[in-house]
Chain A
Amino acid sequence: MALVNWLKRHFVVIAGLLTLGYLLLPNVVVTVFSFNKPKGRFNYEWQQFSTDAWKDPCGVADMCGSLSISLQIAFWATVGATVLGSMIAFALVRYRFRARGTVNSLIFLPMAMPEVVMAASLLTLFLNLGAQLGFWTILIAHIMFCLSFVVVAVKARVMSMDPRLEEAARDLYASPVQTFLRVTLPIAAPGIAAGALLSFALSFDDFIITNFNAGSTVTFPMFVWGSAQRGTPVQINVIGTTMFLVAVLLVLTSMVISNRRNKQKA
């Protein structure tokens, strides 16, 4: 009876942790199998412990090349989407203008559209225009689908901002440019950073839209997709594990830093 009561009281915690386990299990498998030495071409069955892949992460033909292409595209897509998206967000929150409804739905629709639809229609456009598929078409597509997410992230932040701060700056004879650079931008920065981070993750990990519009260019997700047909090298798991660890470390460090700052302020 005590056990039943305990289970009842902690039901949410137990169920929640089980879900967390379900979310993290594949990452555990990816990490463990980065130390595998598979017999055949596929790294799906455990054979024996080995650190070969960690010693030679670029030992697979074309993999690190595809990784570098993905990083470049993710970087420029982040820059493009963050700049264009932040501008739209500022306009939406700070100004009145015609066609606000149209602008809002144009931003909402890409997020409510299955990727495959955007991918197919964009390819139709490129084929009709006779565009050369490759780096640039991928970049164009990535900026397109990251834009909306930046707008949402920045808009949320700017909306919660006290407009009196800007008024105060103007009362103190700050020029519009000064007000923007010294007051508005620093306050909006966390929103812009969140949008940029999201863009980078979305772009780096995108497969469906990229697969349609890449031509013969191979990004890292496309390399993984191809290897699922040809044979999965262990090095893929090494990259996957590294990315996971770097992400966790980055976030934890930033949390520690912001905690310290808050303490200093208090």
Chain B
Amino acid sequence: MATLTEAPPPLSPTAPEKKPPRRRGRFTPYWLLLPGILWLLVFFALPMIYQASTSVQTGSLETGYKVTWHFATYWDALADYWPQFLRSILYAGAATILCLVLGYPLAYLIAFRAGRWRNLIMVLVIAPFFTSFLIRTLAWKTILADGGPVVGALNSLHVLDVTSWLGWTTGDRVLATPLAVVCGLTYNFLPFMILPLYTSLERIDGRLHEAAGDLYAKPVTTFRKVTFPLSMPGVVSGTLLTFIPAAGDYVNAELLGSTDTRMIGNVIQTQFLRILDYPTAAALSFILMAAILLMVTFYIRKSGTEDLV
């Protein structure tokens, strides 16, 4: 399972990729590639083209849609739904940061401090995957229920006063507020942060820590100057694996949120499956895709680990 963390495809930064030897059977690789690549072309790439074409069509369900290069759909969609776009990016960003803050200690614990408990903790991190995530998300409705122990504790510690003032919660409720949605997103995508972090932490040579200690580095300095920089590939792929699905998610916003916490995924789902306004839905989905690809490219450039992709 830990292989999940290898995404994006791993390339060691030191050794340049060795070219595989040429073998007998010039066409063998093409035969091996053909079925899978064809599958991806027809059911992944081609749909993107269909979607792009749908987004510039006009018409109605009854009369049918025709391509009219009606780019105004994009402007209308952005004008109508920019709050949901903004919200998706804010919520997904907050959830990603929370995942990093919460996930790092656990990944570190598994990699360096767990000893013989390592495998058991690893199993416990992965096992929830096998319980339907919808059931687990519904469980948060119970945990964060109005008047329940969690809300009661937060209330008596006056945490909810602060979060209400910030606009994250309303009154003495947590459910149906942005806080609940971010909490659900963080929970759902936390393993996607922990696994890549663990993989890159595990690769760190323990002697580097000793060396830092021998050179009189305090534990905090060792972490800041040695451990954290060396775990950067894990941080980058972990934040990507968290942010991307979180930005497109609509399950948490629907189950734990309210109409005021609708994200762009909710809008796309409603437009597509209930209102049946295909051009608007396609345009929104296209904008989301473009925005995420742009952000990901920019982020990978900035973080200086281009050899990740």
User: Which residues of A does B touch, CB under 8 Å?
Assistant: 11-13, 15-20, 22-27, 29-30, 33, 44-45, 84-85, 87-88, 90-91, 93-97, 103-104, 106-118, 120-125, 127-128, 140-141, 143-144, 147-149, 151-153, 155-157, 163, 176, 191, 194-195, 197-198, 201, 204-205, 207-208, 211-212, 220-221, 224-225, 228, 232, 236-237, 239-241, 243-244, 246-248, 251-252, 255
Contacts and interface: CB of A to CB of B under 8 A. Distances in A.
A240 B248 contact: no
Complex A-B, nearest 3 residue pairs according to Cβ-Cβ distance, in ascending order: A114-B248, A16-B109, A95-B29
A243 B265 CA distance: 28
A134 to B, nearest CB: 15
A228 B40 contact: no
Contacts of A211: 269, 273
B1 A152 contact: no
A116 B269 contact: yes
B9 A108 contact: yes
A114 B247 contact: yes
B43 A125 contact: yes
B128 A244 contact: yes
B3 A221 contact: no
Q: Is the interface of B mostly helix, strand, loop or mixed?
A: helix
Contacts of B296: 112
A216 to B, nearest CB: 13
Contacts of B136: 26-27, 30, 240
B54 A124 contact: yes
Contacts of B21: 96, 163
B168 interface: no
Contacts of B278: 124, 127
Contacts of B251: 207-208, 225
How many interface residues does chain B have, given as a range? Answer: 35 or more
Contacts, number: 297
A201 B130 contact: yes
A113 B296 CA distance: 10
A111 B8 contact: yes
A87 B1 contact: no
B135 interface: yes
B281 interface: yes
Contacts of A16: 105-110, 113
A45 B127 contact: no
B37 A149 contact: no
A118 B268 CA distance: 12
B153 interface: no
Contact of B123 (A11, A103, A140, A251): A251
B133 interface: yes
30 contacts: A12-B113, A15-B102, A16-B106, A16-B110, A22-B190, A24-B124, A93-B20, A95-B20, A96-B22, A103-B33, A106-B41, A106-B44, A114-B245, A116-B285, A117-B288, A121-B285, A124-B51, A148-B40, A149-B4, A155-B9, A194-B2, A205-B130, A224-B132, A228-B134, A228-B138, A237-B135, A240-B135, A247-B127, A247-B130, A247-B131
